[in-house]
Chains A and B, each alone.
Chain A
Amino acid sequence: MRREVPIVVTFVSGILFLLDYFIKIPYVSENVVGQFLDWAIIVAAFALILGAANIFRIHIYKIVKGKKEWWNSLILLVAMLVMAVVPIIWTQQNAVYTFLFKNIFENLNGTMFALLAFYIASAAYRAFRVRTKEAAVLLVSAVVVMLGATPIGAKIWSGFPEYSGWLQTIFTTAGMRGIMIGASLGAIVTALRTIFGIDRSYFGGQ
């Protein structure tokens, strides 16, 4: 029961949606599939909150046990609560929500990834070496594309945008297409394994 029911549910919903794409199933394709899509959105909404529930559990534990730097967990929970409750009551166009989003959330998220600009700079200087022929080809191609993509490249030599375009149209497209075809096969096989209940890693390895 515990094993079979979830696997049967996965199989039925998976096969139904798969066949619906290829075969016109009378009644089912018009009515049931649309209904199931609506359901999936709603269940996904519950799953969205589940992530937050998990975080809530971990940090409540840290606060109650007075773990190291428990105040950070407290800040986290307060932020979570305010960010959830305010728009729930007054919609996302409310001033408090907009304030929190624009001034705190956006700056934190944006800066987190802006850090990477600095890391690229320091890695460029310290770690990106023409250690192998492969790395050499990669770095030359990178430099051509960087000069081709910025206005200054064209100033230095009008060939940069041209050759950068050529390189990307032919080689980047070809390489990415090869990878894409292979990865698509991988994705199809993985999805089929899941639908047939052979691969249960989605259920946490049980």
Chain B
Amino acid sequence: MKLLEILQNIDRRIIYLILALSIILPLLFPIGFPVDITQNTQDVYDLVDKLPAGSVVLLSYDWDAASAPELLPQAEALTRHILDKKLKLVAIALWNQGATFADRVHNTVAPEVGAVYGEDYVNLGYRPGQAVVLNSLARDIHATFPEDVARTKTASIPMMKDIRSIEDIDLVISLSAGDPGLRTYIEQIGAQYPVTITGGVTAVSVPGMLPYLQSGDLVGLLAGMSGAAEYENLIDRPGLGLGGMDAQSISHLVIIAFILIGNIAYLAGGRKKK
């Protein structure tokens, strides 16, 4: 009974410490668990991979700094794949911080694959209005985004000459941490226009997206950090996502252990009467 009592009364700070260690140690001493590719990630990869060179992809940054550990690696992996395949990339944002992250991803990836701003990719930035923005850009991208983030006229950007409305876009990818985001794209763009919609979300949002996957309104889905890790595997460029997976494994075990310990003590200690 002594052990049970101790187990029942571990200090909050010790719990915090154990959790921190369960993430720090695997980062310091990587174990290298193999990452399996799930079908949803494979579907996203195939969609991008099968597009012929010169096709236009709209990549929407619908997240903030709080979700960067999950969605930044996804954005990097996708951008690398898109530019590598010589597709045209149009980045926009439905969350205002997204526009800054788009710049950052472009600055990292573009020089490596030799992509040129204005010819291969462009960052049109953020506009407020949520669903309004999507309906507006579907009709006329140039009127919705008259300037890019550097205040160059959209009309004067070479690649944008032929990209004027949703008809000119071959694939929509929304990386989203909530609303407005992937769901807004499915409801406002997918329901109205024939373009295929795919995306990546934080793990929290995954359950809410599953019905759309089953109904076919959404094709493929990257799920949080593990989705990013799988995509990095597929394009053969290990990055932040893969690096974090060992820590994920161990910290999950720790959480499960906490639930078990708490409940064993609870059940053995006699449940309190209701």
Judging by beta carbons under 8 Å apart, are A161 and B245 in contact?
A: no
How many inter-chain contacts with C-beta < 8 Å in the A-B complex? 155
Q: Which residues from A are CB-within-8-Å of B12?
A: 122
Q: A93-B150, A172-B210, A180-B211 are in contact. Are A41 and B133 (CB under 8 A)?
A: yes
Q: Using C-beta atoms within 8 Å of the partner chain, give the interface range for chain B.
A: 35 or more
Which of B138-146, B153-161, B166-174 lies at the binding interface? Answer: B138-146
| Cα A147 to Cα B259 with chains together (Å) | 14
Q: Which residues from B are CB-within-8-Å of A86?
A: none
Which of B127, B251, B259 has most A Cβ within 10 Å? B259
Q: Which residues from B are CB-within-8-Å of A101?
A: 97, 100
Q: Which residues from A are CB-within-8-Å of B36?
A: 151, 154, 161
A75 contacts the other chain (CB 8 A): no
Judging by beta carbons under 8 Å apart, are A124 and B258 in contact?
A: yes
Which of B139, B254, B261, B263 has most A Cβ within 10 Å? B263
Judging by beta carbons under 8 Å apart, are A110 and B16 in contact?
A: no
A152 contacts the other chain (CB 8 A): yes
| Cα A152 to Cα B34 with chains together (Å) | 9
Q: Which residues from B are CB-within-8-Å of A173?
A: 210-211, 213-214
Which of A1-9, A64-72, A111-119, A198-206 lies at the binding interface? Answer: A111-119
| Cα A41 to Cα B35 with chains together (Å) | 43
Q: Could you mark each residue 148-176 of chain A with 1 if its beta carbon is under 8 Å from any beta carbon of chain B, else 0?
A: 01111111000001000100110011001
B19 contacts the other chain (CB 8 A): yes
In the complex, the chain A residue whose C-beta lies closest to that of B147 is: A91
**A34 → B minimal CB distance (Å):** 5
A61 contacts the other chain (CB 8 A): no
A177 contacts the other chain (CB 8 A): yes
Q: Which residues from B are CB-within-8-Å of A12?
A: none
In the complex, the chain B residue whose C-beta lies closest to that of A129 is: B266
| Cα A113 to Cα B135 with chains together (Å) | 32
If over half of A's interface residues share one DSSP class (helix, strand or loop), that class is named, otherwise mixed; here it is helix
In the complex, the chain A residue whose C-beta lies closest to that of B246 is: A151
If over half of B's interface residues share one DSSP class (helix, strand or loop), that class is named, otherwise mixed; here it is helix
Q: A44-B132, A150-B252 are in contact. Are A128 and B259 (CB under 8 A)?
A: yes
A134 contacts the other chain (CB 8 A): no
Judging by beta carbons under 8 Å apart, are A124 and B259 in contact?
A: yes
A-B contact pairs, 9 of them (CB 8 A): A34-B139, A121-B16, A125-B259, A125-B261, A126-B262, A129-B262, A142-B259, A146-B255, A149-B223
- List B residues at the A interface (Cβ < 8 Å): 10, 12, 15-16, 18-20, 33-36, 38, 64-69, 97, 99-100, 103-104, 125, 127-130, 132-133, 135-136, 139-140, 143-144, 149-151, 203, 207-208, 210-211, 213-214, 223, 226, 245-246, 248-256, 258-259, 261-263, 266-267, 271
- List A residues at the B interface (Cβ < 8 Å): 34, 37-38, 40-41, 44-45, 47-48, 91-93, 98, 101-102, 105-106, 109-110, 112-113, 117-118, 120-122, 124-131, 139, 142-143, 146-147, 149-155, 161, 165, 168-169, 172-173, 176-177, 180
What are the nearest 9 A-B pairs in CB distance?
Answer: A151-B33, A152-B249, A125-B258, A109-B65, A37-B136, A124-B258, A44-B129, A106-B65, A177-B211
